Amino acid sequence: FQKIAKEFQESAISDFIGFSIKGERYPLMHTISELRYRVFAEKLGINKKVETRACSLNRAYGVAVPNDQKKFCQDYDALVELAKTSLIQTALFEKIYLNAEPFLLYEIERQRARESVRIWIRQKMKCLKDKYSCGRDERNMIKRVTNFEPKILKNYLKLLYNLEKKLFPEEQVATIIKTKDLETLCGFVDQVSKKTARPGMILIDSGNFKMGSSEGLPSEHPVREVKVDEFWIDKCEVTNYQFLLVVAQHPFLRKSTFPRQFHDGNYLWNWPDDLLPETGSELKPVIHVSWYAARHYCNYVGKRLPSEAEWEIAARAGTEGAYSVEGGAEFLEDYAWFRENSGRTIHTTAQKISNPNGLFDIHGNAWEWVYDWFGIYTADNVSNSQGPEIGKYRVLRGGSWTNPPEYLRSAMRRDALPTSTSNNVGFRCAAKK
């Protein structure tokens, strides 16, 4: 069987490169599957889509095999097992990978994806070192490919380690299998900190400001004077990578385990697995998160969701106009992602200019959950307002990549069920001084 398989080695390498470039999560798994069935069809005369249907249904779902196909299916099943044991070998694994590696390195550089691939490598290395660090689907896939055989796992680990060294030749990559925080303009994920300064956060001074807009929607009326005590707020919207670091430590927040009563069924919809954000999205705002998920995350890292008043005073940054951008609305595209300039997609955080308070994407990119229940403003002077004591909807602020510019105004507010999730809703955290 191995001799026959060698005839298809070049096409297998081509398949592997193709699957990798398409962003398949398990390119090697797909390559082995294609190779196995190519041998079946072209060398052994077995058409997987016709002759083997009854056998496959029996293997996958226990469907009874017709009497006239039982002998064939017994032989076919034995051949499948032979293919698995023949193809899952270190030598073939390494041969396919090393032939594809130069092309993969080129594509990674061309697409400027070094940091994204590093995150994937580190997560995969953790998974190989400890299978219980994997998401459920990923663990099952690695079992199918390697059968958790120590020699194969060790070789896979070595190949990943070497790939990281080649991606970052300027570094002496430590052998420690540990995910580190990425340095960005947003700073670091930080657990409960007793330091005066909070990494990745901006201190907003206490003060009074005019909350709302007399020219906006009815829900923004009336304009009222509000006092807010000083507080910390994240410089950037929480990213997929930051969220991954927390869910890795707190299984409660994982896609497969987060309680159904806390979301609408589409929680982390764009994550293929519990511990695997969408490829290339690691430094983009985490989306498809409910208000409950956002609140739990902030609590886990020793923070909280900002109040609506805190969010607006931070967004306004001492201004009283529609946007806290220098030069007014005509310069909004320098500060924000919205419908007209986003290219129909959410973007990596901190790519635009920050507002005067040093906050990135406070206008646009993703709507942001705040703590408050949605309610009607009153004309009373308010100190540290947190909205109604009870309600049906929570408040979203800031507008998103899907919205026109008027939705990005500092005073703009909308309501949403706290269980709802969307491809344009994220959050940032705050903390008491």
**Local confidence pLDDT in tens for the 433 residues of the chain:** 666 666 776 677 677 667 766 666 667 677 777 877 777 777 777 766 677 888 888 887 889 999 998 998 888 888 777 766 665 555 555 665 666 666 667 667 666 777 777 777 777 787 777 766 777 667 776 776 677 778 777 877 887 877 777 777 655 333 332 333 334 467 644 443 433 468 899 999 999 999 999 888 999 999 999 999 999 999 999 999 899 989 888 888 999 889 999 999 999 999 988 888 887 888 899 999 999 999 999 999 999 999 999 999 999 999 988 999 876 778 899 999 999 999 999 999 999 999 999 999 999 999 999 999 999 998 776 777 778 889 999 999 999 999 999 999 999 999 999 999 999 999 999 999 8
Q: What pLDDT shows up at residue 193? A: 40
CATH of the domain at 294: 3.90.1580.10
Is 151 in the same domain as 261? Answer: no
Q: Would you say residue 184 lies in a domain? A: no
**Domain interval for residue 46:** 2-167
The contacts of residue 375 (CB under 8 Å, 6+ apart) are: 387, 388, 391
Is 265 in the same domain as 380? Answer: yes
Give the closest residue to 282 by CA, choosing from 312, 341, 241. Answer: 241
Q: What pLDDT shows up at residue 307? A: 96
* 237 neighbors 368 (Cβ within 8 angstroms): yes
Is 271 in the same domain as 162? Answer: no
Peptide bond before residue 222 is cis, with ω within 30 degrees of 0: yes
Give the closest residue to 31 by CA, choosing from 41, 17, 50. Answer: 17
Distance CA 311, CA 274 (A): 30
Find residue 231's DSSP bridge partners.
Answer: 204, 432
- What total of structural domains would you count in the chain? 2
Distance CA 131, CA 146 (A): 12
Is 297 in the same domain as 154? Answer: no
Is 158 in the same domain as 230? Answer: no
Is 256 in the same domain as 319? Answer: yes
Is 324 in the same domain as 414? Answer: yes
Tokens at 182, concatenated: 């990425």
Q: Would you say residue 185 lies in a domain? A: no
pTM of the model: 0.61
Is 150 in the same domain as 238? Answer: no
Q: Would you say residue 374 lies in a domain? A: yes
Is 109 in the same domain as 156? Answer: yes
Is 19 in the same domain as 157? Answer: yes
